[in-house]
Amino acid sequence: MDYFSAAFSAALSLIFSFDREVYTVVWTSLHISIVAVALAALFGIPLGILVVLREFPGKRLLQQVLNTLMALPTVVVGLLLYGLLTRQGALGDLGLLYTINAIIIGQTLLILPIIWNLSIAAASSADPRLLPTSQALGASVLQQGAMYLNEVKFALAAAMTAGFGRAIGEVGIAMMLGGNIEGFTRTMTTAIALETSKGEFEFALALGVLLLAVAFLVNFIVQYFQSMD
């Protein structure tokens, strides 16, 4: 127990002394996850609203697939993308493997089904009179989508926050596609795994505490947005 409390105390001191190494890792993680959420939202939210606005064959199947993909194992995404991005892979010439961009692509694909699916749920929760009212006022399909964005903006923000929570806490993609390169592609989760195995428990614990704080904040934001709707 002494070992743990000593480590915890050292971890807090790293956090409150604004240790450069710790915060470089934190910033890398935040940067990757924020960009991944923005990209996934860019596609996921319009697609989610479109699914609600339009009837098409295979709509139920699509939603079942999205439900399944919400629990997509991160290592599977990492593995598949590794196969594509490695030198011998189809996209190997792009030289993306072991870069931040590779992790961003992986996390975007990981959370796209989450944001897409939660956007469908958000748009479906809108008042059923919203669509006929918008149509009766002469809204084009794009304008109808904009009305949904306005009406369920808090639920959509909650969807984005949930996606961010998944991205910031994942380790498989960051490890396999980023390579855990110090000062470059090292994220909070990969650093925790590495530093623990190296015996640098204080450093890992400091990052763990910060990761927990981020998770807590994300959860708080999701609940806030849900209470606004």
Closest approach of another protein to the CB of residue 162, in Å: 22
Q: Is the dihedral of CA 36, 42, 46, 49 positive or negative?
A: positive
Among 22, 106, 119, 151, binds another protein (CB under 8 A): 151
CA dihedral 59, 163, 179, 14 (to 10 degrees): -170
Closer residue to another protein, CB minimum distance, 93 or 127: 127
Closest approach of another protein to the CB of residue 140, in Å: 5
Binding mask of the shown chain, residues 119 to 148, with x at each position contacting another protein by CB under 8 A: --------x-xx-xx-xxxxxx--x---x-
Closer residue to another protein, CB minimum distance, 80 or 139: 139
Closer residue to another protein, CB minimum distance, 58 or 128: 128
CB contact burial 116-138 (16+ within 10 A = b; e otherwise): bbbbbebbeebeeebbeebeeee
Closest approach of another protein to the CB of residue 114, in Å: 25
Q: Transcribe 88-133 into DSSP letters.
A: TSTTGGG--TTSHHHHHHHHHHHHHHHHHHHHHHHHHTS-TTHHHH
Which amino acid belongs to residue 190?
T
Closest approach of another protein to the CB of residue 169, in Å: 33
Closest approach of another protein to the CB of residue 136, in Å: 4
CA–CA gap between residue 166 and residue 41 (Å, rounded):
14
CA–CA gap between residue 76 and residue 69 (Å, rounded):
11
Binding mask of the shown chain, residues 82 to 121, with x at each position contacting another protein by CB under 8 A: ----------------------------------------
Closer residue to another protein, CB minimum distance, 77 or 156: 156
Closer residue to another protein, CB minimum distance, 138 or 199: 138
Which run of H or E residues covers position 224?
helix 201-228
Q: Does 24 bind another protein (CB under 8 A)?
A: no
Using CB under 8 A, list all residues that contact another protein: 127, 129-130, 132-133, 135-140, 143, 147, 150-151
